Amino acid sequence: MRPIDTGFPMIHQARDVPPNMADRLIVALDVESVAAAASMADRLDGVVSFFKIGLWLLFAPGVDRLIDTLIGRGKKVFLDAKMFDIPQTVNKGIVQAARRGISFVTVHGDDAIMRAASQGRGDSPLKVFAVTVLTSLDDAALHGMGYNFGARELVRRRAASAVLCGCDGIIASAEDNPDDIRRLAGGPGLLIATPGIRQAQGNVNDHKRLATPREAIRNGADYLIVGRPIVEAPDPAAAARSFVRDMGEAASLLPA
């Protein structure tokens, strides 16, 4: 697929991220059916090369064929499985994901789970991302769950553990400041993918910790995960281009 020309210079960073900003936008195929997901991928062809498949589709009939089709067409697939099970089960699940050609997969930020996932990845190109704190949770929700500290502190603790356990990256809100997370976790190469991305006037949906695409890139996010603002837009391709444009504008202002 020919990458979209954003009009902005290629951005090279120390972390292992694509040089083209369009390849750092991950569209969540949060739609009702595999057929709808396939149609959406077609509508975004030439604009988006990276798609997230999560719980909306993981149990839908035909999802295996969709994954294989996307990979066969040269797209990258982010399997948002949020694995949380005994280490042996997680390890074998990661082995299977690597064999299929999945690009990213998520596991929960438990130390034993993260270590098992990192071992299962082996030397494959699959990248393991640890979930820190869902963007639908804020400090009040965490306190209600029994934590005696807030979301930002929990994200930082889990990021540090992810580095020690060999994960490639974490899922964290741009509000948590990805650059600060890497610095405090002692992991300058830690990749950070951020959900909860909305345009300034967009619907926040059920996210409580969110940011605009410009804010996320300025704060050091590597990949932006966007679902409903694109897949529910009247013109999904135009919406995706708008996100890429904002990302590129923010990146062009970052220090070299």
C-alpha triplet 237, 207, 254: angle, nearest 5°: 65
CA dist 113 and 92 (Å) reads: 11
Catalytic residue among 75, 76, 82, 92: 82
92 in catalytic set: no
Q: Does residue 219 contact residue 182 with C-beta atoms inside 8 Å?
A: no
The dihedrals phi and psi of 251, each to the nearest 5 degrees, come to: -65, -35
CA dist 163 and 143 (Å) reads: 25
The pair of three-digit structure tokens given for residue 17, joined into one six-digit string: 């991220």
With tokens 């490639």, the residue in question is 168
Q: Which residues are catalytic?
A: 82
